[in-house]
Structure formats: C-alpha cells, structure tokens
Structure 1
C-alpha cells in the first residue's frame, strides 16, 4: 500500500469513528442505540464463569499498566535488540498517537457506559480504549510484518478484545467498532507519515 493510500485510509477510519460517535450521542450521551441494547442483552444471556474469567484476563492485558507501559516497552525493547530502531520509533509514535486520539474522543463525546458493567473503568465509553489499543497493535504488526499468519492473528486479537469488552458490559458494541476504527486509523496515518522512512535500511543488518 502506498504512502498516500495509508494516509487516506487512516484519515477515513478516524473520520468514520468521529461520525459514529457523533451519531450515537446526538440524542444524548446516556441513550444507547437499539443495536447496543440488543447486543448487551445477548452478552448477559450467554455469560458463564469461564467466559467472564477469559474476558477478565483480556481486561488486564488490554488496559492499565500492562497495555500502556509493559507491552509497549517489551515490543520496543525487542525491536531495539533486533537492531530495528526505526521500527521501534514508529511503534512508540503510533502508540502515543493512538492514546491521544482515544482520550480526545472520549472527552469529546462523553458517552455513558452500560449500567451493568462487571469491571470499573475510566470516563467515556466511546471509543473503547482496550479495543483501540488492540487494533493499533494489530495494524502495527500487519504493517511491520506483512505476512498472512500475522494478519490473521492480529484480526483475531482485535475481535477477541472487542468481544471481551461487551461480554463484561463495560462497553457497548458500537464503542468497540469505534475503537477498532480509531486504533487502526491512527496506525495507518502514522504509517503513511513514517513507514517509508522505517523501511529504508540503515545498513545491511537493518531491513524490513
């Protein structure tokens, strides 16, 4: 995918997320859509102790200090050890951009979370930060390691995170859709700006 294509797809995804958020909160931040209510009711009906335990594991992996500090540092350190410092810079910038976009939209829309959520969380239901983080990492993996198996694992990870958020009723379904759009969009925009530079080998040992 060309630099221009990455930028346009990324900008389009972020604008789509903003449009979705605006439409969902137009009538008020406390009024979920019929789709969201129906999906939340479905999640409640299929809950089991095993499902809740698995979703709780995803909750810890996708948020807090694990997602915002530990996982990024591990990824960046691994890239530096592999002498891929440009890729490490790309990852760091992308993750920061994603977090900034997520928090900006949370403050902008201020959407209320489901009342029956099983875990505590921060302000703003839209977009889902956990899902956005997962989508950002997934898109980074796909851009840096464009292999079919990497893409498939990345898609599975993102969808599993989105499902876990609704299984815990900590987010509405549309929050997770917005999170996927923002997370992937942020990675695509930064990729459009930096990926060409990242892919330019510094020497024979550094190549993508």
Structure 2
C-alpha cells in the first residue's frame, strides 16, 4: 500500500503521464483492432469490469454460503468492496490521465487499474480460501504449502494486466499498482475478520 500511495503521490506532484517504461510497454503489446488477441483482451475487459467483478464476487460468495463457509463469503465480499473504495479514492487523488489512442472505451482516471485490482482481489481471495480449506483437512494444518489455486490466480491476474495495457487504456504501472492494491485488501480483509472471529463466539464467523 505504501508503494501504491508513494508512486501515486509522485505522479500527482510531477504531473507525469507515462514513464519511459510505460511508453515502451504500450508499443510492445499494442494490438490490431479486430484481431483474435484484440477480442480476447476485450472479453477480459468486459468480465473484469466493475459489473463483471461484482457479479463474479456475488456468485462466489453465494456458493461459499451454500457450502457453509460463511466467514470466507464475508471476507471475499469485504475484500472486493474495500478494493473498489480504495481504488476510486486513489484515482480521484492522483488524477493520472489514461494513454492516448485507446483501443477500448474507458472513462475516468488511470491510476491504479481497477480491473487489475479486482482480478487480484477476487482471484487471490479465492486462492486463499481454497488453501485454507485444504489446510483444514490436512493432517498437519499448521504447515503452509503452495497450492495450485495461487498459480491459477497468477495466470488470471497476468492476463488482466496484459488486457488493460494491450488495449492501451492503462499504463503498465497502473496495473502493477492495481495488483499491489488487490493484494493489500486481501490481507487487510482477512486479518480484520480473523480478529473478529477470535473475539466472537459466533460459530459462523469461525468457518
């Protein structure tokens, strides 16, 4: 979070739009409109938008409730709501303009990428929930291991970062900041509800 805020402050004070790395990356990943990669990027953009992310979060939370993983459902919803709120606040404070020559209509300021934040918050949140469930069933629940959900989450996050930059609607550093913000809200939401669960006697919050 410190990195996201610090870089955002530098952008605001310096008036910088795209850095040298940002500019070179956009030239590297540019797409031809109408090509197959272009439509893949557009599909990812539609799925990863605010509406798409909220629908996916709602469906995932509903499934967790059906599985009686009540705490996990609450953590997931909290993660996404916190991420959206912080993302919009930072956008309004930094006011970084988007790249020129966009290949896909996008409104608002550029920093950080809400799509990258949402993809990270949802994917890493679900990966953490799946890993916790595996640890609960493990013979040694105190032993933390890397599990395949994190690999799937990483693929989804990288795909969303590529989509936003390939469509020329975000700078590379926007997507990096979005990922860092997403990771931050996952940790904060999980820690918050862990403390609440430790202090309450409600069985639902301990699941």
TM-score class, shorter-chain normalisation, is 0.7 to 0.9
Q: Provide the C-alpha distance between the structure 2 equivalents of 1:85 and 1:165, rounded to a whole number of angstroms.
A: 33
Alignment match of 1:24 (pick from 2, 11, 14):
11
Q: Identify the residue that residue 37 of structure 2 maps to in structure 1.
A: 51
Q: Verify the 8 A CA contact 1:24 1:32 in the aligned structure 2.
A: no
SS of equivalent to 1:21: helix
Runs (4+) of structure 1 moved beyond 4 Å?
45-48, 196-201
Q: Verify the 8 A CA contact 1:139 1:188 in the aligned structure 2.
A: no
Alpha-carbon offset, residue 66 of structure 1? 1.7
Structure 1: give runs of 5+ residues left out of the alignment.
1-13
Alpha-carbon offset, residue 116 of structure 1? 1.0
Counterparts of residues 61-72 of structure 1 (less than 5 Å): 61-68=47-54, 70-72=55-57
Note closer, same or farther for the CA distance 1:193–1:182 as it changes in structure 2 (3 Å cut): same
Q: Verify the 8 A CA contact 1:40 1:169 in the aligned structure 2.
A: yes
Alignment match of 2:25 (pick from 32, 39, 46):
39
Deviates more, 1:139-148 or 1:171-180: 139-148
Note closer, same or farther for the CA distance 1:64–1:98 as it changes in structure 2 (3 Å cut): closer
Alpha-carbon offset, residue 96 of structure 1? 0.7
Alignment TM-score, normalising by the size of structure 1: 0.84
Note closer, same or farther for the CA distance 1:201–1:155 as it changes in structure 2 (3 Å cut): farther
Q: Provide the C-alpha distance between the structure 1 equivalents of 2:197 and 2:168, rounded to a whole number of angstroms.
A: 39
Alignment TM-score, normalising by the size of structure 2: 0.84
CA RMSD of aligned residues (A): 2.3
Alignment match of 1:130 (pick from 110, 115, 120):
115
Deviates more, 1:78-87 or 1:16-25: 16-25
Q: Identify the residue that residue 189 of structure 2 maps to in structure 1.
A: 190
SS of equivalent to 1:145: helix
1:180 aligns with 2:165: no
Alpha-carbon offset, residue 182 of structure 1? 0.6
Note closer, same or farther for the CA distance 1:201–1:50 as it changes in structure 2 (3 Å cut): farther
Q: Verify the 8 A CA contact 1:47 1:167 in the aligned structure 2.
A: no
SS of equivalent to 2:90: helix
Counterparts of residues 87-166 of structure 1 (less than 5 Å): 87-146=72-131, 148-166=147-165
SS of equivalent to 1:26: helix
Structure 2: give runs of 5+ residues left out of the alignment.
132-145
Deviates more, 1:191-200 or 1:52-61: 191-200
Alpha-carbon offset, residue 125 of structure 1? 0.2
Q: Provide the C-alpha distance between the structure 1 equivalents of 2:202 and 2:130, rounded to a whole number of angstroms.
A: 15
